[in-house]
Amino acid sequence: MAAKQADVVIVGLGASGAVLARELTEAGMHVLAIEKGPDYGPDDFWLKFDELRYSARCGISPTMDTDPITWRPNGAATARVAPWAVGPGAGNPLFLPPSLGVGGGSIHWACWFWRQREEDFRMRSVIRERFGDKVFPEGSRIVDWPVSYQELEPHYAAVEAEQGVSGQAGNISGELIPGGNPFEAPRSGPFPHPPIRPSASNQPFVEAASKLGYHPFPAAAAILSEDDGDRKACVYCGFCRDYGCHVGAKAETQNTTLPRAFATGRLEVLANCRVQRVNVDRDGRARSVSYVDARGDVHEAAGDLVVLAAYALENVRLLLASGINRNGAVGKWYTIHNYHWFSGDMPRDTLIYAGAAVGGWVIDDPNANWADHSDGAFLWGSPILYFAGDTQPIEGVRNLPPDTPLWGAGFKDYLRSSYRRRFGMYSQMATLPLESNFLDLDPTVKDPWGQPALRITHNWGDHDRAGGVWLNGIKQRIAEEMGALRTWPAPMEPPYHVTTHEHGGHVMGDDPADSVVNRYQQSHEVPNLFVIGGGSFPTMNGYNPTGTIQALALWTADYIKQETRRGGALTGALGRATA
């Protein structure tokens, strides 16, 4: 059978792939998108209220029988296959799995929508200015990004408008706005919609944090606080994380971005098809991708441009399986978040099961002024987020106080008396890009189609522990001021090593010797191949990544559209020079 043909082949149709598909189809290009999961639509989640299926059993996530992943703490250890964390406790190294299907991570996400700060784009310079070169760990690659906040700001604004982000601006063109984040980078305008309704028990957190001198504000949420065209406002059902949105209030790309791409008539989607490799010609250009359909038959899809827009882990696996790693940088500088979960019980009902998780307010002080509290033991900060919604009973059982029995009368008594009075706070201390944390192909474990599994080598370090101790001290003081009856923290070194916030592995950089893609997420090695998403982040910060991932997708799309015009660097890449 002849290979399918398109101007652009996109592998993965999630948060980044959908944005790129919409941009390129509206620019006149024919796009073929290949997605290994189902072709979900808005109606698929109308009857979604099944915690056992979607949350506990990860119903819209890949499984280890088809997508095995192995983990080991260091290069000398033997890796093992582990399932995603299901059931009581989160004792597996693979925790909070990504989504599978059209929409990708935009299906399951809780919709925190951050812009990075200006400082996050120049991490090396900031650390050096504060501490000097002596604090950079041996074997680290802490760098300034090859793209700046100022360059991405228009793209942040554009994706906020398209996704329908709700929030309160804190800095518009350098003017501080009361009620917003006083530490955010300057924005060109307000959010498209006002903030969503706060969590039921949010006010005690706001009052306690304010009394202690912090600056709480509503988190930006990619959830509609008011109707917007065909999309309806949030109904605060309490089933956001791990669930599709049954009313379309969440910014899932199936209901925000893809309808515009389909309207052009230039987008074709192959669902339930698994890409196995990128095929590179002798002249070093990506000719096509090979994929397996739902029946197990092997096909090719040829494109003048090929874009890997899958999850960071899968992007890396595909690059390695395709032999695209001439400089040895693919898989390096793997970074994730340590959430440093902190839980407590209040004297009154918190309605922990109601509303969106992102309805809890945030303080960004520990992210902005971390250097004032560090002697170099930890090298970046994190916001602290109040978490008092979207927590169903089974999930509640997975986080009990350490003295609570797991069965019998004591267990039942706790659920009756305290589950409804639960609250949480968490931070997102980012690991540093170190040589010791990396991704490669497992030498023995393969999937059912004979493809090698991805192997994760990762462990926590001194930076993660020191930062967590400092952040938990702040959480404890806030909890005491709130009147919490008791509190309990998660381990400083948690058992998980996957968090849905995986970064690195195909990092961007100007130097082809130690990076995988350039500032436009274009492969250094294969010039008509783009690799986009969180894997391109050269360093990691304390924010959820989707806003930056989508802004970068727009940045890449602008580059492709510009450079495929006559006289551009990609002239002729689409088999024609566009005017």
CB-CB contact of 245 with 252 (8 Å): yes
CB-CB contact of 277 with 290 (8 Å): yes
Per mean pLDDT, which range of 153-157, 400-404, 458-462 is the poorest? 400-404
Q: What is the pLDDT of residue 576?
A: 43
The residue type found at 349 is: D
- Contacts of 351 by beta carbon, 8 Å cutoff, 6+ apart: 199, 200, 201, 388, 389, 420
Q: What distance in Å separates the CA atoms of residue 333 and residue 346, rounded to the nearest whole number?
A: 40
Q: Check pLDDT > 70 for residue 193.
A: yes
Q: For tokens 């582990």, what's the residue?
A: 82
The residue type found at 18 is: A
Q: What number is the average pLDDT over the span 196-223? A: 98
Tell me which residues are annotated as active site.
501
Q: Which carries the bigger pLDDT value, residue 395 or residue 178?
A: 178
Over residues 447-494, the pLDDT tens digits come to: 999 999 999 999 999 999 999 999 999 999 999 999 999 999 999 999
Q: What is the pLDDT of residue 573?
A: 64
Q: What number is the average pLDDT over the span 526-554? A: 98
Q: What distance in Å separates the CA atoms of residue 427 and residue 501, rounded to the nearest whole number?
A: 13
Helices (H) and strands (E) in the chain, counts: 14, 20
Q: What distance in Å separates the CA atoms of residue 433 and residue 431, rounded to the nearest whole number?
A: 7
pLDDT band at 579 (very low <50, low <70, confident <90, very high): very low
Q: Check pLDDT > 90 for residue 56.
A: no
pLDDT band at 324 (very low <50, low <70, confident <90, very high): very high
The DSSP annotation for 474-512 comes to HHHHHHHHHT-SEEEEPPSS-S--B-S--B-SS-B-S-T
CB-CB contact of 106 with 86 (8 Å): no
Q: What distance in Å separates the CA atoms of residue 33 and residue 348, rounded to the nearest whole number?
A: 50
Angle at 559 between CA 21 and CA 228, to 5 degrees: 45
The residue type found at 571 is: T
Q: What is the pLDDT of residue 90?
A: 56
State whether residue 576 is helix, strand or coil.
coil
Q: What is the pLDDT of residue 394?
A: 87
Per-chain mean pLDDT for the chain: 94
Q: What is the pLDDT of residue 467?
A: 97
Q: Check pLDDT > 80 for residue 83.
A: yes
Question: Mind spelling out the 3-state secondary structure of 357-386?
Answer: HHHCCEECHHHHCHHHHCCCCCCCCCCEEE
Q: What is the pLDDT of residue 565?
A: 83
Q: Check pLDDT > 50 for residue 578.
A: no
Q: What is the pLDDT of residue 406?
A: 87
Is the Cα torsion angle 403, 407, 410, 414 positive or negative in sign?
A: positive
Q: Check pLDDT > 70 for residue 55.
A: yes
Q: What is the pTM of this model?
A: 0.96
Q: Check pLDDT > 90 for residue 3.
A: no
Q: What is the pLDDT of residue 197?
A: 97
Q: What distance in Å separates the CA atoms of residue 9 and residue 248, rounded to the nearest whole number?
A: 28
- Contacts of 229 by beta carbon, 8 Å cutoff, 6+ apart: none
Q: What is the pLDDT of residue 367?
A: 97
Q: Supply 505's token pair.
A: 């592995």
Measured CA distances, 118 to 123, 125, 139, 187, 541 (Å) = 9, 11, 25, 11, 11
Q: Check pLDDT > 60 for residue 221.
A: yes
Beta-strand ranges (E) seen in 227-297 are 267-271, 274-280, 286-292
Q: Check pLDDT > 70 for residue 118.
A: yes
Q: For tokens 């996400």, what's the residue?
A: 109
Element housing 205 (H / E) = helix 202-211
Closest CA to 415 of 425, 435, 401: 401
Q: What distance in Å separates the CA atoms of residue 262 and residue 274, rounded to the nearest whole number?
A: 22
Within its chain, how far is the Cα of 439 from the centroid? 17
Q: What is the pLDDT of residue 512?
A: 97
Over residues 239-268, the pLDDT tens digits come to: 999 899 999 999 999 999 999 999 999 999
**Residues above pLDDT 90, as percent of the chain:** 85
- Phi first, then psi: give them for residue 430, nearest 5 degrees: -85, 135
pLDDT band at 47 (very low <50, low <70, confident <90, very high): confident
Q: Check pLDDT > 60 for residue 87.
A: no
Q: What distance in Å separates the CA atoms of residue 527 and residue 575, rounded to the nearest whole number?
A: 15
Q: Supply 351's token pair.
A: 């309605």
The DSSP annotation for 67-82 comes to S-EEEESSTTSPPEE-
- Contacts of 312 by beta carbon, 8 Å cutoff, 6+ apart: 502, 503, 504, 505, 506, 533, 534, 535
Q: What is the pLDDT of residue 96?
A: 84
Q: Check pLDDT > 60 for residue 330.
A: yes
Q: What is the pLDDT of residue 331?
A: 98
Measured CA distances, 106 to 178, 240, 381, 454 (Å) = 30, 11, 26, 23
Q: What distance in Å separates the CA atoms of residue 64 and residue 270, rounded to the nearest whole number?
A: 22
* Number of other residues whose CB lies within 10 A of the CB of residue 566: 10
- Phi first, then psi: give them for residue 440, nearest 5 degrees: -150, -175
The residue type found at 46 is: W
Q: What distance in Å separates the CA atoms of residue 488 and residue 399, rounded to the nearest whole number?
A: 10
Q: What is the pLDDT of residue 113?
A: 98
pLDDT band at 577 (very low <50, low <70, confident <90, very high): very low
Q: What distance in Å separates the CA atoms of residue 472 and residue 485, rounded to the nearest whole number?
A: 17
Over residues 89-102, the pLDDT tens digits come to: 556 888 888 888 99
